[in-house]
Amino acid sequence: MAHESEYDDALVTLLELIWGEGYMAPGGEGNVMKIAEGLEMRDKRVLDIGCGIGGPAMFLARNYGANVVGTDLEPQLLELVEKRDAVEDLQAASVLRK
């Protein structure tokens, strides 16, 4: 049985309008900062399971110097992460595919 994606471009755009660029759920950068508070992440590997479109991964890479590896079941979402990573030239948010 083939996997059907839940997230078309229109839905991803809508979710980003609601939650902020790179985010598909509540919380945003403020929530990521609360989680990361007090943690030393510079040059540490962080695994983001269910990374979606990469907002938290990019934030950790950009602001904390983390080397983030993201994985998600939706291949088209991973493609968006890779495009954003290339635009930001972070080279810190890698993507794992199945």
Give me the CATH number covering residue 52: 3.40.50.150
Count of domains forming the chain: 1
Percent of the chain with pLDDT over 90: 55
Q: Is 31 part of any domain?
A: yes
Closest listed residue to residue 25, CA positions, set 51, 6, 4: 51
Closest listed residue to residue 22, CA positions, set 96, 89, 88: 88
pLDDT in tens, 21-51: 999 999 899 999 999 999 999 999 999 999 9
Q: Is 67 part of any domain?
A: yes
**What's the whole-model pTM score?**
0.81
To the nearest 10 degrees (0 to 180), the angle between helices 28-36 and 55-64 is 50
DSSP label of 94: E
* Residue 84 banded pLDDT, cuts 50, 70, 90: confident
Q: What is the mean pLDDT of the chain?
A: 86
Q: Is 1 part of any domain?
A: no
Q: Is 38 part of any domain?
A: yes
Domain region containing 65: 9-96
Q: Is 65 part of any domain?
A: yes
Number of helical H runs and strand E runs in the chain: 4, 3
Predicted local distance difference test score (pLDDT) of residue 17: 95
